[in-house]
Structures are given as C-alpha cells and as structure tokens.
Amino acid sequence: MRLFDTHCHLDFDIFQDDFEPQLKSAYEQGVSRFVVPSVGSSNWAKVHQMAAGHTDIYYALGMHPYFLHPQSIDELPTLKEWLNRRSHQCIAVGECGLDAMVKVDMALQEKVFIEQVRFATSCQLPLVLHSRKTHHRILQILKQEKFQFGGVLHGFSGSYQQAMQFISLGFYIGIGGVITYPRANKTRQAVAQLPLESLVLETDSPDMPLNGHQGKSNHPKMLGEILSCVALLKGMSEQTIAEIVWKNSNSAFCICE
C-alpha cells in the first residue's frame, strides 16, 4: 500500500535534528511521497534543498496569508524568479490563499493571492490553497482570474456543497486529521458523500494533530489513520481507498506514478 502525504511541513524545525529517522518512520507506515509547501521567502531555499536530496519529496513555492507583512508585496518579484527557475520537483504554487481568522489586512492578502494565481497560470502549475472562512471569496477570485490548472484545497473542513464548488473548478480536496474527530460532523458527512476520485490525503504535519493525539506534534506516519477514517466513512476497504487516492495525488500535481 502506497500513501502520499500531499501537505506536510517537513522543513519545520521540529523535524530537523533527526530528519532521516523521521522520514524512515513515515516510510515504515507506507508513506512514500510527500509535498512540502513553503510559507514565504524564509523557506523557499529550504524546501528546494530538501527536495534536491530526496526524490520522493516534492515542494511548492508560495506565500501563506498568515505570514504576510507590508513588505510582502516587494517579495512577489523574487517569488516569480524562484518559480521561473524552479526544479522539476517544484510541482505547485503555494501554500497561498486567504484567511479571515488572522490579523493580516485582507486587502493585502487578496493582492498577494491574486498575484500568486497569476504566477501559477503563467507557469502552468496547480495551486495549494489555504482557506479559512474565505471559500466564497477564493472561488470568486479563481473564476475572475479564469484559473485552469487546478490543485488542492488544503485542510478541508467545510460542507459538501463548498467542496463541490472547488471540484467543479478542477481542484482536489485535501482531507486531514479533522475527520478523525467525531464532533466534526459536517466535514465527516461531506467526505462520506464526496467523489473518492476528488480526494487526497494530508497530515499538515506538525500541525493538525489527530483525535487522541491532541497536544502532540503531528507526523506523516499518521497518514494511515486518516486513510482508515476515510475508509470507515466511505464503507470501503483501505486498500481500495489507498489505490485511488494515490492516483489522485499524483494527478493533482502532474507527477508520473
């Protein structure tokens, strides 16, 4: 069984002291591919270098809304340069999007996000989308920009109807630890109904700990527990789910299997 963690921050400090053993522990649980999205200029070089040393690690270059500041506008040309000279393991623009839950000016968030959508179009790359309480506005911008290269709506925790709107624009839905919580009724029901062909799995490590692991750092090796939860919600075997989401994950980022 092959698993693909489509969103994990392996470059964060918590993984660095014993990186190879950390990676090995994920391999031992069947996780054999990873996408590491960047959050801003502070880690573009780091995710690039990490992927250069590991053929099973892919990365995305972008600017996360949480980490934006007034000077972020000035960093956009540098992001475009990074994308123009990207390696083949750079498979998306992101993590980018909008977040209504952080104290970052929404006008700034929108300007930076729109530019990243345009970069993705010019590079013909998918997007890794971050959205909290902003699904409607992100959908408006994607339609306004006539974006056609799809990607993944990361860390989904919305309704079936919201997810289907992104799927209609060519996006896959990133399913993470939130579905392991019984109280996440709306999202669990949505996952049960959504077409399996539109789902990918993620941990968002070291964030978004699974139910029963609150207060601990998350890890790609936990991806199998998310798979088990999806299988339960879908009433299907884990093997069947794993095979389909493996294909979906590679398709989302145009990676050869």
Residue ranges of domains in the chain: 30-136, 150-257
Cβ atoms of 143 and 106 closer than 8 Å: no
Cβ atoms of 116 and 143 closer than 8 Å: no
**219 known ligand binder:** no
Fold of 150-257: TIM Barrel (3.20.20)
pLDDT in tens, the chain (257 residues): 999 999 999 999 999 889 999 999 999 999 999 999 999 999 999 999 999 999 999 999 999 999 999 999 999 999 999 999 999 999 999 999 999 999 999 999 999 999 999 999 999 999 999 999 999 999 999 999 999 999 999 999 989 999 999 999 999 999 999 999 999 999 999 999 999 999 999 999 999 999 999 999 999 999 999 999 999 999 999 999 999 999 999 999 999 87
pTM: 0.97
Cβ atoms of 8 and 220 closer than 8 Å: yes
**95 known ligand binder:** yes
**9 known ligand binder:** yes
Question: Which pairs count as long-range contacts for 183-188, CB under 8 Å and 24+ apart, including other chains?
Answer: 184/157, 186/158, 186/159, 187/156, 187/157, 187/158, 187/159, 188/233
**130 known ligand binder:** yes
Assigned token pair, 197: 């062909």
Q: Does domain 30-136 have CATH number 3.20.20.140?
A: yes
Cβ count within 10 A of residue 137 = 17
Same fold, 30-136 and 150-257: yes
Q: Is 141 left (phi over 0), alpha (psi -120 to 50) or beta?
A: alpha
**135 known ligand binder:** no
